[in-house]
Structure 1
Amino acid sequence: MSRKKLSRRQFVAATAMSSAALITAPYVRSANAAGKLNIGFWDHWVPGANKASTELVNEWAAKEKVEVSIDYIPSQGNKNILTIAAEAQAKSGHDILAMPTWWPHAQADLLEPMNDVVEALIKQNGEVNGTVKYLGKSGDKWLAVPACIGSQIKGPCSRIDLMKQHANIDVQAMYPAGAPPKADAWTTDAFLKAAEACHKGGVPFGIGLGETSDSVDTVGAFFLAFGAEVVDIKGNVVVKNDNVRQVLEFYKKLMAFLPSDAPAWDDGSNNRWLVSGKGALIMNPPSAWAVAKRDAPQIAEQCWTHGFPVGPKGRFAPFLPYFWSVWNFGKNKPAAKSLLMHLSQPAAVEKLVAASGGYDLPAFEKLTTLKTWAEESPPKGTLYHYPNPHKHQILSISAAGAPPKVAQQIYTQATLTKMCVRYFRGESMEKTLAWAQGELEGFMRS
C-alpha cells in the first residue's frame, strides 16, 4: 500500500534508527495518576512526523497524569502486520495499536467497541466517508477510530508542462487551486487519449501493474469507475459480467501506453519514475512530489495533484485509511479512549497534517480544508485538491463491495491487476474470467 533521497522506502531507511526506539513521556506522580498506557503507532515515512505525534501524546499524558510509552512500528517488511497478528495470538501487547485498512475487520472479535469515541468525533468533526465505514465498522460496532496519521489518497500527480505539451491538458485549469474542479471533460476516454499522447511524446504515464498496493489501488479505482464488480456484498462471485469485460478492454488499451515493465513495478517504482523526469503522470500520495521537492526541484515545480478521471459509473479515488484500535484485553481502556479523543481534535489534526507535509488525511469532512494543503509549494496550491475538499470524487478501496474479509484476499492477492495483465498478454477474455472465477471461489471457501 502503497505507503511510503525521501521516497517512501527511503523514509524508512532514513529513520530506521529511531523507528524501534521506545519513547517515554514524563510520568507525573500524583494521587490522580491514571496508570500506564502502551501505544503502537505506525512509523511514518516522513521525517519529523513521528515527533509531532509524540509531542501530542506527551501533552495529553502530562495533563492526565498517565505514564505512556510509544513504539513506532514500521510497515516495511510488514512489521506492523506481524505485530498485530502476534498480539492477537498472545492477547497481550499495546493498549492502542495502529491498524491499516483491512485489519480492524480481520481482528474484529478482539477489538473494544469504539462507538462512544467515533460517534462523538463525527458529531464534532463531521461525517466520515463510506470507505472508512466499510473498513472501520461491523454492523453497529465501530471497530476502531479513524486515524489521521497514515491515511492517504492515491490520486493522479501530473506534470503540468508535459500534460500541456503532449496531451493539450491544463491540469491547473482543470483543478484550480482554491476553487472547485472544472473536470467534466476529464473522463476515462480523455485519460486514455492523454496516456497515448504522452507515450508518443516519450513521457509515458507511470502506472504500475504489479502485486503491491499502488498497483492494486489504481486498478481498483478504475474497476469501480466502470461498475466492474467481481464479488457482490452478499459474497456471490459475479465476475463474468459486461462491466468487468469493459474495464479489461480499457486496461488492455491503457497498458499499451505504459512502461513495458509495469507488471513488475513495486510501490517505489512510480515514485522513481516521476522524480527521474521520465513520466507525465503517476498515481500516488504526495510522497513522490516531496522527493522531487528535495532532489529535483525543477520537477516538483511542475507537479500538480488532482482528481481521478470519471468513468461510466462515477469518479472514484483510492483511499487507504489507517485506524487506531484498542484491544478488548487492553489494560487501560479509559485512558486509551481519552488519548484518541485528544489526537482527533482539530488542533491536533492540523499539527499532524502540517508535520507530514500534507501527506496525512483526516477522515472527517470538516477537516479537509486545512491551510497546509492550500499553502504547500512549489507550485503553491499543488496539494489543494489532494484531500478532496469539494467531494468531487468517491473515496474507495480496491475490491470494495465484497464482504471485507473476502475483499481483503482479492486485494492482497492482486486479483484485479493479474486479470488485466493476463488479458493484455493475449489470454482470451473468457479464459481470464474463468481464471478469476476460480480464484474468487477459492477465497470464498477459505
Structure 2
Amino acid sequence: MSRKRLTRRQFVAATAMSSAALITAPYVRGAHAAGKLAIGFWDHWVPGANKTSTELVNEWAAKEKVEISIDYISSQGNGIQLKIAAEGQAKSGHDILAMPTWWPHAQSDLLEPMNDVMEPLIKQNGEVNGTVQYLGKSGDKWLGVPATIGSQIKGPCSRIDLLKKHAGIDVQEMYPAGSPPKADNWTTDTFLKAAEACKKGGNPFGIGLGETTDSVDTAGAFFQAFGGQLVDGKGNITVKSDGVRQALEFYKKLIPFLPAGVASWDDSHNNKALVSGEASLIMNPPSAWAVAKRDAPQVAEQCWTHGFPVGPKGRFAPFLPYFWSVWNFSKNKPAAKSLLVYLSQPAAVERLVAASGGYDLPAFEKLTTLKTWAEEGPPKGTLFHYPNPFKHQTLSIAASPAPPKVAQQIYTQAILTKMCLRFHQGEAMEKTLAWAEGECEGYMRS
C-alpha cells in the first residue's frame, strides 16, 4: 500500500463544475464541510491515472475545506480484497474504499446505504447496466457508487490482419468506428470456424481455461449465450439444463483450437499471446493493446476491440465493475458522499477515462460515448465499440443470476472452466454435471 499526494493541474470545466456544485450541495454545505476524509482507491496500472484521480479529489477538498488522505491499494496478490476484509473485521480504516465486483455484497451489513447518492446520479447520468444493479444493490439498498476507475469490459480484441488472412473476417467492417455493429453473422458457430482457421494458420485464439478471472469471465459469457446457468436468480440449482449442456459441447469443440497449456493460464498469458504476435484474438480490456502500443507497435496498429459472438440466447460480454463504498462506521459520511457525487460528474468521468487511455468504463448509459474511445489509436477508432455504445450486447458477469453470495463462490472456485476441462478430457457429460451440482449444493448450504 502506498500513499501519494500529487500537485493539482488546472482544468477549465466551468459548466460541469456548476452542475457538480448543485448536486453536491445537500451533502457537504454546512457544519460538516470540513474535517478529515480517508480514501482507498485501486492502484491503477496506467501511468498517470492515479495522478488524475488525486487531482480531482484535491480540487474537491480545496473547495470543501476537507483534509484528505489517499491510499492507492494494489490488486496484485489480492491486496485490495485483503484490505477490505481487514477493515471490515476491525471496523476501522478508510471512509471510502474501492471494492471490486462481489465485495459490496460480501460486506453489505457494514456499508452505508448510498440511495441518496445514486438516485440523483441516475437521473442525471442515465441508468446503470444490469450487472451494476446485480452487484451493487441488496434489495432496495445501494451498497456503493459504481466507480469509473477500474471498471472494464472483457471483450474480444482481434488482430485485423490475422482474422482477415486466416478466417476471411473483416472486424472493422463488422464493427465500424463511429457506426452501429453489422455483426449478425458473428455467431458462436462463426467463432468456432474462425478459431479453427486461425489455429491452422498458426495464430490461435488466446483464450484461457485457468482459474483466474480472464478465463472465468470468458466462460461465463459463453455459458450465458447458450442460456447455461448453474443456479438461477431464486437460488434453484439448474446445472442439468440444456443450456449448460450446449455450453459444454461448445467448449469441447473450441478447446482443440486453442494453444497448448490453456488449462493453466493465468491473466497474463492472453496479454502475452497478443503482444508477442502469436494470438489472433484474445478476450481482454484494452490493457494488452496498451502494452502493445509501447512494446510492439506493429501489433497494436492491427488490433480492434469489438463485441462477443451471439449465441442461441443472446450476445453477452463480461463486465467487471468497481464500486466506491462507504463504511457505516465512517466518521465523515456526508463528505464521503459529496466526494463520490463529484467524481461521478460527467466532467470528472471524462478526465478519468482520458487518463486511463479508455480502459476505465463508467456504468451510466449517458457516459458511454466519450471522445476518448472514438479518438484513441492506433488504429483510430480501435476502442470505439469497447464501451458498448449501441447496447449491442448484454453486460454480464459469470455465475449470475445466482444470488451474489452463492455466485461469488461459483466464480472464485472457477466451476465453469473446471467443468469445461473435465468434459473435454473425456469425463461423461452426466458425471461432469453431477460434480458441478454437488459443488453448488455445498455453496447453497454455506
Q: Which residue does the alignment assign to 2:351?
A: 351
Report if aligned partners of 1:275, 1:296 keep a CA contact under 8 Å in 2.
yes
Which string of whole-angstrom CA distances, capped at 9 and with x for unpartnered residues, describes residues 295-315 of structure 1?
000000000000000000000
Where do residues 361-440 of structure 1 align in structure 2 (5 Å cutoff)? 361-440=361-440
Residues 33 and 335 in structure 2, CA contact (< 8 A), matched pair in contact too: no
| C-alpha RMSD of matched pairs (Å) | 1.3
What residue is the counterpart of 2:252 in the other structure? 252
Q: Which residue number in structure 1 is paired with residue 194 of structure 2?
A: 194
2:432 match: secondary structure: helix
Q: Residue 148 of structure 1 aligns to a residue in which SS?
A: strand
Determine if contact 1:32/1:65 at 8 Å carries over to the other structure: no
2:21 matched to which residue of 1?
none
The DSSP-based 3-state class of the residue aligned with 1:378 is: coil
Which SS does the other structure have where 1:431 is aligned? helix
After superposition, where does 1:280-319 map in structure 2 within 5 Å? 280-319=280-319
Query: Counterparts of 1:405 and 1:445 in 2: how far apart (Å)?
Result: 11
Please give the alpha-carbon distance, in whole angstroms, between the structure 1 residues aligned to 2:115 and 2:162. Answer: 48
Deviation at 1:127, TM superposition (A): 0.4
Task: Extract unaligned runs of 5+ from structure 2.
Answer: 9-29
Amino acid at match of 1:372: T
CA distance in 2, matches of 1:181, 1:442: 42
Count residues in correspondence. Answer: 425
**Partner of 1:181: helix, strand, or coil?**
coil
Distance 1:22 1:104 in 2: 25
Distance in 1, matches of 2:33 and 2:198, equals 62
What CA deviation, in whole Å up to 9, does each residue of 1:357-391 have, x standing for no partner?
00000000000000000000000000000000000
CA distance in 1, matches of 2:315, 2:49: 31
Query: Using the alignment, how far apart are the partners of 1:49 and 1:177 within structure 2?
Result: 25
Find the residue that maps to 1:149 and give its secondary structure.
Answer: strand
3-state SS of 2:350 partner: helix
TM-aligned CA deviation for residue 22 of structure 1: 4.1
Aligned-partner residue type, residue 5 of structure 2: I
Which residue of structure 2 lines up, in the alignment, with residue 183 of structure 1?
A: 183
**SS of the counterpart of 2:205?**
coil
Which residue of the partner structure matches residue 148 of structure 2? 148
Tell me if the contact between 2:319 and 2:396 (Cα under 8 Å) persists in the aligned partners. Answer: yes
Given the superposition, is the C-alpha separation of residues 351 and 428 from structure 1 closer, same or farther in structure 2, using an over 3 Å criterion? Answer: same
Q: Secondary structure at the match of 1:324?
A: strand
| Alpha-carbon distance, 1:234 to partner | 1.5
Q: 2:345, 2:282 → 1: CA distance?
A: 33
8 A contact 2:32–2:335 mirrored in 1: no
| 1:25–1:68 contact (8 Å) kept in structure 2 | no
* Residues 217-296 of structure 1 mapped to structure 2, 5 A cutoff: 217-296=217-296
Whether the 8 Å CA contact 1:25–1:69 is kept in 2: the answer is: no
| Amino acid aligned to 1:269 | H
Q: Secondary structure at the match of 1:97?
A: strand
Partner of 1:205: 205
Output the CA distance in 2 between the equivalents of 1:234 and 1:158. 37
Q: Which moved more, 1:50-59 or 1:230-239?
A: 230-239
* 1:348 to 1:220, Cα distance in 2 relative to 1, 3 A: same
Letter in 2 for 1:63: K
Q: Partner residue of 1:20?
A: 2
TM-score, structure 1 length as denominator? 0.94
Q: Counterparts of 1:348 and 1:209 in 2: how far apart (Å)?
A: 37
Q: In the alignment, is the contact (CA less than 8 A) between 1:24 and 1:68 conserved in 2?
A: no
Report if the CA contact (8 A) 1:39-1:71 is conserved.
Answer: yes
- Structure 1 runs (4+) greater than 6 angstroms displaced: none
TM-score if structure 2 supplies the norm length?
A: 0.94
Deviation for aligned residue 1:23: 2.8
**Alignment partner of 1:82 is 2:82:** yes
1:239-263 Cα shifts (integer Å, max 9, x gaps): 0111111110000000010011011
Deviation at 1:31, TM superposition (A): 8.8
SS at match of 1:338: helix
Aligned-residue sequence identity (percent) comes to: 81
In the alignment, structure 1 segments of 5+ residues that lack a partner are 1-18
Distance 2:32 2:289 in 1: 47
Contact 1:206/1:280 (<8 A) preserved: yes
1:24 CA drift (Å): 7.8
- Asked if structure 1 preserves the Cα contact closer than 8 Å seen for 2:32 and 2:334, the reply is no
Report how far residue 236 of structure 1 moved. 1.4
3-state SS of 2:257 partner: coil
Matched AA of 1:281: L
